[in-house]
Amino acid sequence: MPTADCQDSTQPTIDYNNKMFLAPMVRVGTLPFRLTVLDYGADLVWSEELVDKRVIGSVRKYNPITKTIEYWKENKLTFSTHENERGKVIFQLGTADPDLALKAALTVKQDVAGFDLNCGCPKRFSVHAGMGAALLTNPELLKKILINLVQNVGLPVTCKVRLLEDMEKTKELLKMIESTGVKAITVHCRYRDQRSSTPARWDEFKEAISVVKSIPVAVNGDVFCYKDIESIKEKTNANSVMIARGAQYNPSAFRKEGLVSTREAAEAYIKWCVRVNNVYQNTKYVLLTMSNDPKYSKTDLYRKIQQAKSNQAICEIFGMESFYNEIQELHKARQEEEAKKEEANAGDKRKLEENEESKEEKKDEEPPTKTLKVDGDEQPKAQS
């Protein structure tokens, strides 16, 4: 396996310094949500964690109706992207195998800006197979995965980790990760088994990252809106910030001018869901989590969203019927345009086949040749 010393200096670059990132969030960080937070000012957006084996073997397709690039496997959508996030979407991998990690990354490489290795997720579905936070206690495997990606994928690679309870081990981990050639590190300021109810350990983060000298380090944990960013960076010495729950509660968390109302942010999100034809179950899930108010689940709006069975029904709840109809007309027009293109292409193909058949028929109609002997040599002569 190559070492980090031979890193390709010609690979595309991303500036991870002094930036705002959307954190990877399962079921939340799908395409319409990423596009929404980009509209509100996020610099880079992480996909939800996608496991290597799910990605490998996915087939790339362009959807001319929604203008999206989609990866499908076994009739299920694995990943989708849109031109509005080109150069800004970071694909987060869940993996515990250097070779599978690389195969998965190469599958989607042409449509993402970079890759991030998930070393922070503590949930069972991730750690039971040695992925996510399980890699924190297997640094040799973590190192092998990162080096294989850094040296062979041809795009910037980053890594997201958590603090370890032993400060010296955290420092050793960060120095090791830096040595692999990654372009940035994000540190979630909690231990592996701590949840969001535990305050972020900013002081420990500040001490831990003091050993990282050559690459940006982003802070993740208890960043809820734009006005929090500068003060947290000052307290922690972080280069950049990554926002998770703050964006989930209100996608305008990245907005310099301040938060818009949850209703306005929800409508902005719904518009992207309709434009890219998001599955309504995912649209519902995100909308139902778009508030940190415990009373939200008791509201009439929450109940109506729960009962919705389509994106159209969701638009009706929010009084967005005209927008929904407008996009459906646009999609219909694109469908008709594509049908005409397919018909024209089919016609061109038929003409080409007919021309080939005509050439073959003409060959068959040509008179056979007769061989005559002239001065002992055989010479072909057309029959009359």
For the annotated binding site for FMN, the residues are 24-26, 92, 160, 188, 244-245
Q: Is 119 a catalytic residue?
A: no
What is d(CA 227, CA 244) in angstroms, rounded to the nearest whole number? 15
CB-count burial class (<10 Å; 0-12, 13-18, 19+) for 147: buried
Give the active site residue among 119, 121, 159, 273: 121
Whole-angstrom Cα distance, residue 108 to residue 47? 12
Phi, psi of 289 (to 5 degrees): -105, 5
Question: Rounded CA gap, 337 and 334, in Å?
Answer: 5
Residue 20's H or E segment, with its range, is strand 20-22
First to last CA, the chain: 74
Q: How far apart are CA 138 and CA 134, in angstroms?
A: 7
Q: 31-39 vs 280-288: helix axis angle to the nearest 10?
A: 50
Which DSSP symbol is given to 137? G
Annotated binding site: 24-26, 92, 160, 188, 244-245
Neighbours of 335 (CB within 10 A): 12
* Distance between CA atoms of residues 93 and 146, nearest Å: 11
Catalytically active residues, by annotation: 121
